[in-house]
Amino acid sequence: MTRAVPAATSALRVLRFLAQRTTPVPAALIATEIGLPRSSTYHLLTAMAAESFVVHYPEDRSWGVGVAAWEVGQGYTRADPLARLGRLPIARLVDALGLSAHLAVLHGADVVYVVEERAKGRARLVTDVGVRLPAHLTASGRAILSTMSAAQLRAVFPTGRELVRRTEVGPRSLAELRPTLAAARRNGYADEDSEVTPGFASIAIPIASAANLAAVAVTWQTPLEVDLATVVEHLQATTDVIAERLR
């Protein structure tokens, strides 16, 4: 017999209710519609907002669906077609450059790798299918985040929350991350160097037809043995092919 989990059930009911609304709604209406005490509803909404599943609009005293809920809802529809349609173009990218490449999607504040192609004779990478890494440290994550609005970024990275590091380098806050994302928008690609694994660097470009929530990256052990402009050219062509396939 399945044991009931009232808090989890209530949270799911809140998400379903908000998902059916075209505009944010007051907490009192949520409490009435799902049959919870107002105090319990406020506590539940606060906890869900801390994980970005709902968003609080203090000026209107209302609540709406957060980016994390949208990510969960879109997870399968993004990852499955991307894995099937992206595998061959990424394999061709690896053959053309002789460098390892991968495709990742955004899930909350992390990226999840859904395609991984290793170049022959290259060092093994920490990335692999199903691996999750902090989006703000990876080239793939930065490429995706660079397409987001300021409000979306605040939803992914709540103000005041310290960002984790894997090595001795990397942004510690959203304020420190913003210049990196601005550079990615200017350059047309995002990069990282030794922020995921010491001695390894990556560049990535977002896939235009993946709702700006997926990117293709190329990774190498420094120094780079191929001209960077050549890598960017092949990487852009690969993301264009995948975008066209998704259409």
Indicate if 143 and 242 belong to the same structural domain: yes
H or E segment at 2?
A: none
Task: Examine the domain organization and report whether 104 and 20 are in the same domain.
Answer: no
Q: Which domain, by its residues, includes 155?
A: 70-246
Mean pLDDT (whole number) for 185-197 = 94
Alpha carbon distances (Å) from 105 to 58, 71, 122, 203, 207: 31, 10, 24, 15, 10
pLDDT above 80 (res 198):
yes
* pLDDT of 205 higher than 60: yes
Q: Tell me the pLDDT tens digit for each residue of 170-189.
A: 899 898 999 999 999 999 99
Quick one: average pLDDT of 130-147?
A: 92
Most confidently predicted of 72-81, 116-125, 166-175: 166-175
| pTM score, whole prediction | 0.68
Q: Same domain for 120 and 147?
A: yes
Main-chain phi, psi angles of 177, to 5 degrees: -80, -30
Average pLDDT over residues 25-42: 90
Domain boundary among 32, 65, 98: 65
